[in-house]
Structure 1
């Protein structure tokens, strides 16, 4: 894209940054609309809009045009993911919601691994624009599938404005602390995952290829964590204990990868396995509980949760960009692990569901 649009790689990096910022800002603003008008009424236009923006990026011949396309895609995505997760809680009872949420989020994890691989293949063997056309086709197909989906009628919220919706959502008992857990735990973990390749390159002197394989291993273990939610829920017999254990495992695994000495390959491998199993199994349980306690504000709460994740990622990314060369990856990991431990304290203060 840099060569094609005649801009530096640093300028091209503005695309995902603008996408994430607008996603985080607009998700709460649009969340109350799905509570008022319905999930499908918001989700189908957002998917169609996302398809149009991807086609816009694919056809753009200027940096400014592609940047606008990414910005509009971020706004559409602010509707798509929160509404998708809200639908899970709309149609699945609480006792089965953690497993269902894990299946949905495993799809998200798989896409994080598959999309860059497919895009790189298309960019090197054909053209980067084809990857965006393919994303547009996926979004269009998804909109048709959602349009045909039969969804139960959800009681409409009487909230009139986004800000009133935010106040109503935060007034629900436990929502504020759980959103704090999302920011400090899931957001920090996802932010660290984004710098995982750079971490192993700097700490262990691995090649780019080895670091890429390791990042793929991270995604695979996360999907495995999503897959074992059912047995884990039965084993722990408490969603609170499972979430707490997931948080502790995420913090411990992150510390092994980014803080502890690694005399052998086994240390970072074991660290990632512990990290991702805790993150992949505990995260969906946390998000399913958050969605179910939200009631008629489910769309808003789910949107705030998505914003909290993106803000956590942005915080780690900002910290990495400004301080990485001064404090190293160990310093970045240390601050993120500290945030996760604060999240453990928040979780411990909440009564079991």
Structure 2
């Protein structure tokens, strides 16, 4: 890859940023309407949580497949059909909720289709950012990608609440419109570099990935866990807050959406600022990751004590700031873990564990809410403390241009030449 730094076109950055924005809408926009869906379709708390879980689990399963396909062919060749499928799944869910018999099952089918479509969106956008930009510009655009993700989470509850004033199932019909806008931006504004190099056979591709994880697995798995826990706690807390606002405080509609946006706005603002400042300074990134998990631990432990809404939201916003410190740094570490040849798969696997975190959040928090509110907060605080300690001990950096795992790379990402030296005889890459 050339060392010449490409200046990002504003339209190209907007196109890349639109993809995680659309993906975020898939879950966050539904959060405010879940109680109305539960009432209209006569669902249990567990059944309504499945509309989040089915989307996220399906996405998690298909993300590695789309990651490989994006490495094999091109990022746009995966992203564009995925966006169409995402919109089609929303349309099916909306039609089912408004007109179909056995609406709930068809809503789940539509959500599963949306999950498949989501698998080819945000993780591929991260890989595309690594392909197109380098150095500080890459970190800045990755920060914008995470901020776009967070901005989508901020807007989603408000937009979902506004649409629900017309009909609770109206949020499903909004997905195709948003997807169409993103499709146009990606199609017109993203110009991928055309390379004549033939992709490696699948067997050698898998050997290369195995070598990457053998060499860098300890810190990569820690980074994956960190991303999953951030999304698990975020969506679990939103699920809890949505339920409490309606049941305990009688707050619904747009006001509820605005309140749900408060911790998300803290996360979004912090993500944007972090991405703009970190550059390629790995030591700083590790410090921010550990600091972020410390803030999350303090926030979730302190949530046991506030009995009034405003102090509760302020403490919860502190956790949002911690999440905003962690995610852009994890994104940068993972995007730079390997060369372009396998970046799609490695970033997509990261996307999978993030989606699994989202999928686990609502049902796990629902069970914990039934068990003990204090126990829920203490358990989550213990989890974030554990992951923070793992990040402190497993992610190793120094000042000599090394990878996070401590392997020298002389300023380069792990690429085919590095992997050929490590593969068994006869298993080298083309």
Q: TM-score, normalised by structure 1?
A: 0.85
1:168/1:297 contact within 8 Å kept = no
For the pair shown, the structure with the greater C-alpha radius of gyration is 2
CA distance in 2, matches of 1:254, 1:4: 28
The change in CA–CA distance for 1:284 and 1:157 in structure 2 (over 3 A counts) is farther
- 1:238 and 2:284 matched: yes
Structure 1: state its 5+ residue gaps.
Answer: none
2:144/2:275 contact within 8 Å kept = no
1:82 to 123, 128, 132: 123
What SS does the aligned partner of 1:171 have?
helix
The change in CA–CA distance for 1:189 and 1:165 in structure 2 (over 3 A counts) is farther
CA distance in 2, matches of 1:159, 1:185: 35
Structure 1 residue 212 displacement after superposition? 5.0
- 1:140 and 2:180 matched: yes
CA deviations over 1:44-81 (Å, ceiling 9, x no partner): 11111112222222333242333222111111101111
Structure 1 residue 117 displacement after superposition? 2.7
Structure 2: state its 5+ residue gaps.
Answer: 1-32, 398-403, 405-430
The change in CA–CA distance for 1:45 and 1:329 in structure 2 (over 3 A counts) is same
CA distance in 2, matches of 1:252, 1:201: 26
What SS does the aligned partner of 1:228 have?
helix
CA distance in 2, matches of 1:282, 1:232: 13
CA distance in 2, matches of 1:34, 1:23: 15
Give the match for residue 43 of structure 2.
9
1:94/1:289 contact within 8 Å kept = no
Give the match for residue 71 of structure 1.
112
- 1:46 and 2:89 matched: no
CA distance in 2, matches of 1:5, 1:265: 25
Give the match for residue 107 of structure 1.
148
2:160 to 92, 105, 119: 119
Give the match for residue 252 of structure 1.
298
2:52/2:359 contact within 8 Å kept = no
Structure 1 residue 6 displacement after superposition? 7.0
Structure 1 residue 3 displacement after superposition? 7.7
CA distance in 1, matches of 2:81, 2:138: 26
2:290/2:389 contact within 8 Å kept = no
CA distance in 1, matches of 2:244, 2:201: 45
Give the match for residue 98 of structure 1.
139
CA distance in 1, matches of 2:163, 2:379: 37
Give the match for residue 300 of structure 1.
345
The change in CA–CA distance for 1:36 and 1:192 in structure 2 (over 3 A counts) is same
Give the match for residue 281 of structure 1.
325
The change in CA–CA distance for 1:194 and 1:93 in structure 2 (over 3 A counts) is farther
Give the match for residue 311 of structure 1.
356
The change in CA–CA distance for 1:29 and 1:317 in structure 2 (over 3 A counts) is same
Paired residue total: 347
1:236/1:242 contact within 8 Å kept = no
The change in CA–CA distance for 1:351 and 1:72 in structure 2 (over 3 A counts) is same
CA distance in 2, matches of 1:130, 1:263: 34
CA distance in 1, matches of 2:244, 2:301: 12
Give the match for residue 158 of structure 1.
200
The change in CA–CA distance for 1:316 and 1:54 in structure 2 (over 3 A counts) is closer
Give the match for residue 331 of structure 1.
375
The change in CA–CA distance for 1:292 and 1:153 in structure 2 (over 3 A counts) is farther
The change in CA–CA distance for 1:110 and 1:34 in structure 2 (over 3 A counts) is same
CA distance in 2, matches of 1:323, 1:136: 35
What SS does the aligned partner of 2:165 have?
helix
CA distance in 2, matches of 1:256, 1:3: 32
Considering only aligned residues, what root-mean-square deviation do their CA atoms show, in Å? 3.2
